[in-house]
Chain A
Amino acid sequence: MSLPEDVRRLPGLVTEGDEAVFAEPWQAQAFAMTVKLHEKGLFTWAEWAAALSAEIAAAGPDDPAENYYMRWLAALEKITQEKGALSETERLERRDAWDRAAKATPHGSPIELGAETRS
């Protein structure tokens, strides 16, 4: 019944330690947006679970646990698009706008959209 040691010691099954709820702030943001969009009725929780499961399944069994919120984010991008909350073009343009704004912002200052046109 017991498996060989190398199979049993699969990475990711860290059984001890009370980890922080979120490893990085963006994970918390992605989590909270999902809950709020569900509350708003953009999707049912079953639809969300299906979207997240699909991302997790596509990543395969060797996907490290640390990537969990990456899968979450990809699922959120897809479901907001499928449900018509925003389009892929809008999302990619906005990503680029934040990139330009960040690069135009002096280190230590808050990053604001349009910062590159303001100086």
Chain B
Amino acid sequence: MAHDHDHDHHHHDGDHSELSETALRVKALESLLVEKGYVDPAALDELIETYETRVGPRNGAQVVAKAWTDAAFMEKLRSDATNAIADMGFIGRQGEHMVAVENTEDTHNMVVCTLCSCYPWPVLGLPPVWYKAPPYRSRAVSDPRGVLAEFGVQLPENVGVKVWDSTAEIRYLVIPQRPQGTEGWSADKLATLVTRNSMIGTGLALTPDQVAS
């Protein structure tokens, strides 16, 4: 028996229920796929719970903080990001072919999926709404500096912006630059500076001042 989502149905004709057209379509698919043995309702719930609570940008922040503090790990991330990240336990769908792109003094990296919404789930969770929206998907390529400005990021003129278009096979993780004034910080403390947007490239890592305020 498929699950019921009480919030999907609302009052109708006094004392009877009605499901929205969308809810009906989803229930039709789900009940058929369960009957035919393609999906198991308990496994669906478990997966949803995982993505709602356990997989998110905190994972990626740990990867970045480790890269900032462990030169050997950074080297491995450059040569084989998929395995470097898997070694930290962040394994899963849409993380099978990861590429780490490193921001430097003269290059800023930014990631988009122009076709749909490919995104590195194991390290960043599911994508934010704007990442999936047409304006970002088109303008990240045609006007990356304008997009960055809207996110509040002003880069010096001499810094080039490189835009990486994700595919169904390859996912990118931006390694932002380590902020000044964080010498001697532990990886755990550094991870608090690493925002989701800084790993997509629509932001920079926070400075110690920004966290303190």
Contact surface of A with B, Cβ cutoff 8 Å: 1-3, 8, 10-15, 18-19, 21-22, 24-26, 28-33, 35-40, 42, 45-46, 48-50, 52-53, 56-57, 60-66, 68, 70, 73, 76-77, 80, 85-86, 90-92, 94-95, 97-99, 102-113
Q: A36-B44, A65-B132 are in contact. Are A73 and B17 (CB under 8 A)?
A: no
Interface membership of B202, Cβ < 8 A: yes
Interface membership of B39, Cβ < 8 A: yes
Q: Are A33 and B33 in contact (CB under 8 A)?
A: yes
Q: Which residues of A contact B94 (CB under 8 A)?
A: 45
CB B179 to nearest CB in A, in angstroms, measures 21
Q: Are B48 and A102 in contact (CB under 8 A)?
A: no
CA distance in complex: A12, B117 (Å): 14
From B20-28, B104-112, B183-191, the one touching the partner chain is: B20-28
Per-residue contact bits, chain B 1-32, to A (CB 8 Å; 1 contact, 0 not):
10111111101110111110011111111111
Q: Are A18 and B33 in contact (CB under 8 A)?
A: no
Per-residue contact bits, chain B 177-210, to A (CB 8 Å; 1 contact, 0 not):
0000000000000000000100000100000000
Task: Kindly identify which residue among B3, B39, B126, B151 contacts A36, using a CB–CB cutoff of 8 Å.
Answer: B39
Q: A105-B17, A111-B4 are in contact. Are A56 and B26 (CB under 8 A)?
A: no
- Interface residues in B, total, Cβ within 8 A: 70
Interface membership of B159, Cβ < 8 A: no
Q: Most chain-B Cβ atoms within 10 A of its Cβ — which of A13, A22, A110?
A: A13
Interface membership of B143, Cβ < 8 A: yes
CA distance in complex: A112, B17 (Å): 11
CA distance in complex: A104, B126 (Å): 37
CB A78 to nearest CB in B, in angstroms, measures 11
Q: Which residues of A contact B52 (CB under 8 A)?
A: 21-22, 28
Q: Which residues of A contact B7 (CB under 8 A)?
A: 24-25
Interface membership of B160, Cβ < 8 A: no
CA distance in complex: A22, B36 (Å): 26
Q: Are A21 and B125 in contact (CB under 8 A)?
A: yes
Per-residue contact bits, chain B 127-142, to A (CB 8 Å; 1 contact, 0 not):
0111011111011000
CA distance in complex: A110, B40 (Å): 19
Task: Kindly identify which residue among B24, B26, B39, B138 contacts A99, using a CB–CB cutoff of 8 Å.
Answer: B24
Q: Are A31 and B39 in contact (CB under 8 A)?
A: no
Q: Which residues of A contact B13 (CB under 8 A)?
A: 103
Q: Are B51 and A12 in contact (CB under 8 A)?
A: no
